[in-house]
């Protein structure tokens, strides 16, 4: 028999705040974390805004020497993992660390390290490239460092499926706990790609918002005047735990994870499949896996990037699955406030969905003034809403046609 899986700890480093309380208070207050890029000169680029993490001090979570040997994406992950265990009130002396795993998503990895060392190679020659270059850059090192920092000896894995990475990671973690292979798993995702090369690449694709004059209004999912997504950075780590293990130690339960679905569009390297066909199948599989009827869903945290095709096709996918009920479901894109955290996006959005269930509060989609063509559902425009949230789903879709959906519900004995 499958084990029940619950969420018992949350840790986050995000553009709207560091730590669960700051993150959630900002979301339900409709605060934007978007501002002018400060990490490098963007004057030659068409996009000059992003969701940067503010006031992050890695030495609050890491020894100075260790921090210098980690890329920023790994620092974010370690900090968030330590916060999740603290939030979950885990006594690390009383748990079996061979039964605690780490499964993280990351879309790009150590971009800061990659760019720094590329400059060293071309300017100073190969003999000056750092011996830490590869272990700082590769995407799996966030999960590796979390495992090493905390002495966790269960499965340690990294999922790389572009913007769906963190949600796929949460799905894999769900399965490991559900099958009884782990008592706990730290799962989610991390990303730190607000760097010149990655930024220029997305600009070249014409995928990013050009609302530079008013940064806080630049991320506009589902709005008629949207011009693309806004890049964000950060990490979200959730503690997934087997129910009986959680109850035995008196853990607080934010929500129960009950379903997971993933599909491939098999269509295009960047565009979603027409009519959101692949996204609809991911939602259908997740609902079926959780034994949930469409009419039971209270809230959808949409992928909602602010790109024209994504917003329209996701809306169509929701209508395909929920029919007339789609008009009654509260939907929101928290990317309107955080920006798009790429491989970490699903982590903070699963977290937002769990907190919506825990507090019976739906965060808003800010900057939604006039819905775009075909975007005619209830996107919880501009203000949070109090309502009973019994079942929530979180969608993420990635370049390459990766689609992933997680279903959660309010925990009941």
**Residue 203 a catalytic site member:** no
Contact between 385 and 330 under an 8 Å Cβ cutoff? The reply is yes
CB-based contacts of 83, cutoff 8 Å, min separation 6: 10, 11, 12, 19, 20, 237
Cα separation of 50 and 44, whole Å? Answer: 15
For Cα atoms 73, 75, 81, give the angle at the middle one, nearest 5 degrees.
105
Number of helical (H) and strand (E) elements in the chain, helices listed first: 13, 15
Phi, psi of 339 (to 5 degrees): 75, -175
CA dihedral of residues 291, 261, 88, 339 (deg, nearest 10): -130
Tokens matching residue 364:
């808003």
Of the listed 163, 170, 182, 375, which one is catalytic?
A: 163
How many CA atoms does the CB half-sphere of 85 hold within 13 Å? Answer: 25
d(CA 287, CA 318): 12
Burial of 266 (0-12, 13-18, 19+ CB in 10 A): exposed
Residues annotated catalytic, as ranges: 163
């Amino acid at each position: 028999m499958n084990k029940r899986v619950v969420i018992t700890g949350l840790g986050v480093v995000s553009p709207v705040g560091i730590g669960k309380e700051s993150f959630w208070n900002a979301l339900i207050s409709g605060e934007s974390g978007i501002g002018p890029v400060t990490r490098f000169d963007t004057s030659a680029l068409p996009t000059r805004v992003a969701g940067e993490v503010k006031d992050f001090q890695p030495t609050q979570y890491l020894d100075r020497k260790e921090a210098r040997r980690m890329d920023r994406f790994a620092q974010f992950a370690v900090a968030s993992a330590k916060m999740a265990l603290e939030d979950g009130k885990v006594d690390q002396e009383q748990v079996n660390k061979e039964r605690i795993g780490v499964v993280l998503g990351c879309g790009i990895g150590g971009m800061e390290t990659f760019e720094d060392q590329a400059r060293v190679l071309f300017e100073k020659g190969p003999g000056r490239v750092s011996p830490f270059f590869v272990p700082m850059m590769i995407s799996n090192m966030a999960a590796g460092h979390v495992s090493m920092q905390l002495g966790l000896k269960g499965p340690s894995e990294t999922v790389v499926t572009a913007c769906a990475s963190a949600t796929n990671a949460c799905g894999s973690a769900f399965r490991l706990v559900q099958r009884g292979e782990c008592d706990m798993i730290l799962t989610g995702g991390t990303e730190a790609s607000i760097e010149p090369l990655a930024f220029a690449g997305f600009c070249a694709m014409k995928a990013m918002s050009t609302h530079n004059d008013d940064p806080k209004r630049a991320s506009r999912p589902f709005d008629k005047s949207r011009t693309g997504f806004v890049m964000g950075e950060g990490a979200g780590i959730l503690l997934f735990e087997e129910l009986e293990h959680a109850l035995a130690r008196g853990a607080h339960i934010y929500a129960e994870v009950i379903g997971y679905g993933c599909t491939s569009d098999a269509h295009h390297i960047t565009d979603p499949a027409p009519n959101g066909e692949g996204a609809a199948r991911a939602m259908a599989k997740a609902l079926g896996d959780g034994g949930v009827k469409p009419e039971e869903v209270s809230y959808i945290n949409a992928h909602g990037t602010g790109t024209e095709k994504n917003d329209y096709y996701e809306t169509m996918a929701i209508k395909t699955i929920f029919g007339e009920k789609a008009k009654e479901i509260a939907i929101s894109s928290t990317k309107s406030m955080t920006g798009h955290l790429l491989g970490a996006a699903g982590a903070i959005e699963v977290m937002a969905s769990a907190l919506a269930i825990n507090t019976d509060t739906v965060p808003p989609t800010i900057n939604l003034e006039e819905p775009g063509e075909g975007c005619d559902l209830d996107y919880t425009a501009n203000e949070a809403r109090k309502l009973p949230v019994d079942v929530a789903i979180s969608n993420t879709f990635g370049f390459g046609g990766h689609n992933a959906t997680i279903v959660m519900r309010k925990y009941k004995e």
